[in-house]
A and B are shown apart, each in its own frame.
Chain A
Amino acid sequence: MIQVIELLPGVTLRCFPAERFKQGCLSLQFLRPMTPSEAALNALIPAILLRGTREYPDLRSITLHLDDLYGASVGTLVRRVGDYQTMGFYCGFIEDKYALTGDRVLEPMIDFVGELLLHPALESGVFCREFVQSEKRNLITTIEAERNDKRAYAASQLLRKLCSGDSFGVPRLGEREWVEAITPETAWEHYCRVLEESPVEIFYVGSAAPETVAARLKAIFMQMERNPIALPAQTAFQGGEVGDFTECMEVAQGKLSMGFVTPITNRDEDFAAMQVMNTLFGAGMTSKLFMQVREKRSLCYSIGSGYYGSKGIMTVSAGIDFDKEPLVREEILRQLQACRDGEITPEELTAAKEAILSGLRGVYDSPGSIEGYETTAAIGGLRLTVEQYRKAVEQVTAQQVADAAKTLTLRTSYFVKGVEA
């Protein structure tokens, strides 16, 4: 279904031809290693690029141009995919057939992406100082805003501790101080390196012929001096801090995050079993955590687990009363033990599998989810197509779930609690 076209060495276009959507999507990502030295730069640069170009010198001329393209959207894309950080753009735009007769949207859209990449607005040969300053401020605000969402905050503090020896411990957008240190000169220098050496992944969903899209895109990359360097392969978890951490903040509700590790990653045979284990244990309204800890014992308002397959990490987050922390922790571990002991009903197993299968069956129902699954799989090393992944999940047994649960060990926890009176 997906047509892969190598436009140039290190520049891959993946096309998913589809007639049934009202919008097309195009994503373009440069792949970088996730490291403290460049995480903030990679997060900042797409935002600087979207501030102005030679032809569209400021934000307003850019948005007016997008308005002309029937309200097309171009957003910055900064993703963590295993050990990599990706940077680039995601564009959504109406299919040409819904525009007024004769109007075209896709081709001007691709040209606009080319304009963003090739002709950023410059000042003395580097990025405009004013754009860099204001986007730095914005990025810092976004990083700090994490504090507003206490659950996300506790979860990210947990990852900083748990993965202090791993690329996963580097926050996706970098740290405040890293952003502060960036200058127009360092940003420009880094951008030039990115253009020259980074592998590029482009994804298109829509009704246009792949050859048309490829030709238009190739013309952009032909104008760059490229010397691509391949990235090192994805790695499994490398240990960080062990222990239980507590922080006091002015909050009404406590947030507990627990981090577990497993040798099973999305590159392993047992990946599907681990995925089912996570869902059965803590994802969704029929999971053990939800049913036992929240519904049966009313120990928390919210609870859930997440499995990061590219690394082999599982986290549990719960919103709780401060004084319930020991009880909740104990109950979470009791539920994990139940999984390890194979206390899994056929209903639980079916529900967990169905939740995953239903998500997989729906992947091809929206341009965004197609793009999300396929690019993440291609970049993150998941070697399963949607179809193979489905088959693997269908075959998982209760015994395999229990075996997957046995590989999990608790390493670190992070608790945000209220300030004591």
Chain B
Amino acid sequence: MKLYEYPKLGEQAYRETLPNGLSVVVVPRPGFTRKMAYFVTDFGSIHREFQLEGERFCVPAGIAHYLEHKMFDLPGRDVSAELAELGANVNAFTSYDMTAYYFSCTEQFDKCLDLLLEFVSVPYFTAESVEKERGIIDQEIGMNADAPDSRVFEMLMEGMYCHHEIRVPILGTSESIREITPEYLELCHKAFYNPANMILCVVGDVEPETVSCIASARLGDALRPMGEKLPHKDEPMACVEHLRQARMEVAMPTFQMGFKCEPIGVGEAAIRQEIVGDLAAEALFGESSELYLRLYEQGDIDSSFGGGFETVDGCALLTCGGDSERAEAVRDAVLAQAAKLAEQGIEEKAFLRMKRSALGRRIRDLDSFDSTCFRMCAYHFSQFDYFDFPRVYESVTVEEVQEFLRTVAQPERCALSVIAPIGGN
């Protein structure tokens, strides 16, 4: 494996692409007991239309998440129990644009890693087990329907996007999951659980060569045909609906608002755009912004308020939210402040302070194995080496951030989603 050094961060990374196309990254952490591995596919809930070996497919909503649940089955074996016996904590999640399987352990790392690679790479779906899972996932959908934080975000996506699949909840719906069959699951597995579409990232005090040897032995060397995602439909920058409201059993109204942004693409330009978006979010409504203080002091927001710049394959948005009795007033204040910043500009000194703060928080975040693995993988799919972030931060200018705000913070790009208490005003 090839060694890369990042002296400013006190980090190193070993990297290699195996003959089967799998990217392997090992971040050594000498002196730590815990070891963590992420095995991730560049396939999430939005990737419903694709081509495989010349044929076009459209799969039911919620299938990426359904597949995540079913991957833990191996013939006659209980993977979770085997990993637990080795002392590993195993889990998985499905997001809009990726599915991750991961574990952390303190001992017997090699065995745990091999087992992770095995269960994620071996498809085993019986009609009976797929049927049984439907009940469990339907329950999860029910639980999600009771969770205001998820609902308010999903409603915002419905309001903001007209074509992009982010409109559809990651879990799918009770109706859409009824269409899921073992055949569909096999198809998605074949198309996207292909080493060439995946990354294996390990953080911990491990031998890098062992990691790539285990991966090679378990996954084989052959390159196989892979699913090709269809390009995203052109998405207008105006929102479909500027306000969506619902009532739920909540103590206090809760809201999310968003500004639609141009998708960021891949590579260094994309990461630069992401950092610009992050800094714009800080300048506009971050905790040290003028606006945050004013809204907080007026009692229009509380410490639950927060936001940032979110990117998903094919879309990007500036979003913030929290609990508030006056969500529409908060939205108007954010719009007005964005216009003011775009016009008057951001002070250079304040900008440098913001950059230093954002950089410091990213560096601190490297202490978290989870966050480091997650970011290494996500940025890999964006074709960028995550540990290069300090260099990009240094070069971002205040003009870029102002320009971003000028473009993005427009009323037609803005939507608001509010959940109010049942029986309230």
Binding site for B on A (CB under 8 A): 20-23, 58-60, 63-64, 66-73, 92-94, 97-99, 130, 134, 137-138, 141-142, 144-150, 249-253, 284-286, 291, 294, 298, 300-302, 319, 321, 347, 350-351, 354-355, 357-358, 361-362, 364-367
Most buried by B among A58, A294, A365: A365
Contact A71 B364 (CB under 8 A): yes
Most buried by A among B9, B107, B139: B139
- Residues of A within 8 Å of B148, CB to CB, are 148
- Which of B296, B356, B360 makes the CB contact (< 8 A) with A59? B296
- Kindly provide the distance from the CB of A97 to the nearest chain B CB, expressed in whole angstroms: 8
Of B28-36, B178-186, B233-241, the one touching chain A: B28-36
Contact A253 B356 (CB under 8 A): no
Residue of B at shortest CB range from A150? B146
Q: Which of B279-314 contact A (CB under 8 A)?
A: 287-290, 292-293, 296-297, 299, 302-304
Contact B302 A285 (CB under 8 A): no
Given contacts A148-B148, A286-B81, contact A71 B251 (CB under 8 A): no
Interface mask (B120-151 → A, CB under 8 Å = 1, otherwise 0): 00000000000010011001101101111100
What separation, in Å, do the CA atoms of A297 and B364 have in the docked complex?
A: 44
What separation, in Å, do the CA atoms of A48 and B33 have in the docked complex?
A: 39
Residue of B at shortest CB range from A47? B303
What separation, in Å, do the CA atoms of A250 and B293 have in the docked complex?
A: 35
Residue of B at shortest CB range from A350? B85
Of the A-B pairs whose beta carbons lie under 8 Å apart in the complex, a sample of 11, sorted by A's number, is A20-B31, A21-B367, A60-B292, A67-B353, A68-B356, A71-B359, A71-B361, A73-B361, A147-B249, A319-B143, A365-B34
- Residues of B within 8 Å of A67, CB to CB, are 288, 353-354, 356-357
Contact A138 B302 (CB under 8 A): yes
Contact B249 A72 (CB under 8 A): no
Contact B360 A354 (CB under 8 A): no
- Residues of B within 8 Å of A347, CB to CB, are 81, 85
Number of residue pairs spanning A and B whose beta carbons lie under 8 angstroms apart: 177
Of B86-94, B191-199, B269-277, B402-410, the one touching chain A: B86-94
- Which of A141, A294, A361 makes the CB contact (< 8 A) with B106? A361
Contact B367 A367 (CB under 8 A): yes
What separation, in Å, do the CA atoms of A20 and B249 have in the docked complex?
A: 46
- Residues of B within 8 Å of A142, CB to CB, are 303
Contact B136 A301 (CB under 8 A): yes
- Residues of B within 8 Å of A64, CB to CB, are 288, 353
Contact B360 A250 (CB under 8 A): no
Contact B32 A365 (CB under 8 A): yes
Per the CB 8 Å criterion, the residue count for chain B at the interface is 68
What separation, in Å, do the CA atoms of A130 and B297 have in the docked complex?
A: 8
- Residues of A within 8 Å of B246, CB to CB, are none
- Kindly provide the distance from the CB of B70 to the nearest chain A CB, expressed in whole angstroms: 13
Residue B223 at the chain A interface, CB threshold 8 Å: no
- Residues of A within 8 Å of B3, CB to CB, are none
What separation, in Å, do the CA atoms of A354 and B9 have in the docked complex?
A: 33
What separation, in Å, do the CA atoms of A93 and B90 have in the docked complex?
A: 30
Contact B252 A144 (CB under 8 A): yes
What separation, in Å, do the CA atoms of A137 and B9 have in the docked complex?
A: 41
Residue of B at shortest CB range from A285? B80
- Residues of A within 8 Å of B363, CB to CB, are 22-23, 70, 94, 98
Contact A252 B85 (CB under 8 A): no
Residue of B at shortest CB range from A349? B85
Given contacts A286-B84, A351-B81, contact A300 B139 (CB under 8 A): yes
Given contacts A20-B32, A138-B303, A367-B367, contact A286 B358 (CB under 8 A): no
Contact A144 B251 (CB under 8 A): yes
Contact B84 A70 (CB under 8 A): no
What separation, in Å, do the CA atoms of A357 and B353 have in the docked complex?
A: 43
Residue of B at shortest CB range from A352? B84
Residue of B at shortest CB range from A134? B299
What separation, in Å, do the CA atoms of A319 and B147 have in the docked complex?
A: 13
What separation, in Å, do the CA atoms of A291 and B292 have in the docked complex?
A: 47
Residue B368 at the chain A interface, CB threshold 8 Å: yes
What separation, in Å, do the CA atoms of A298 and B136 have in the docked complex?
A: 7
Q: Supply 11 further A-B pairs (C-beta < 8 A) apart from A71-B357, A141-B323, A286-B85.
A: A60-B292, A63-B292, A70-B357, A70-B359, A148-B147, A150-B146, A252-B142, A301-B139, A302-B143, A354-B85, A354-B87
Contact A358 B290 (CB under 8 A): no
Given contacts A250-B422, A358-B88, contact A63 B288 (CB under 8 A): yes
Contact A148 B34 (CB under 8 A): no
Q: Which of B225-268 contact A (CB under 8 A)?
A: 248-252, 254
Contact B106 A70 (CB under 8 A): no
Interface mask (B351-387 → A, CB under 8 Å = 1, otherwise 0): 0011011111101101111000000000000000000
Contact A366 B302 (CB under 8 A): no
- Residues of A within 8 Å of B254, CB to CB, are 148
- Kindly provide the distance from the CB of B34 to the nearest chain A CB, expressed in whole angstroms: 4
Most buried by B among A23, A347, A354: A354
What separation, in Å, do the CA atoms of A63 and B88 have in the docked complex?
A: 39
What separation, in Å, do the CA atoms of A252 and B364 have in the docked complex?
A: 40
Contact A58 B85 (CB under 8 A): no
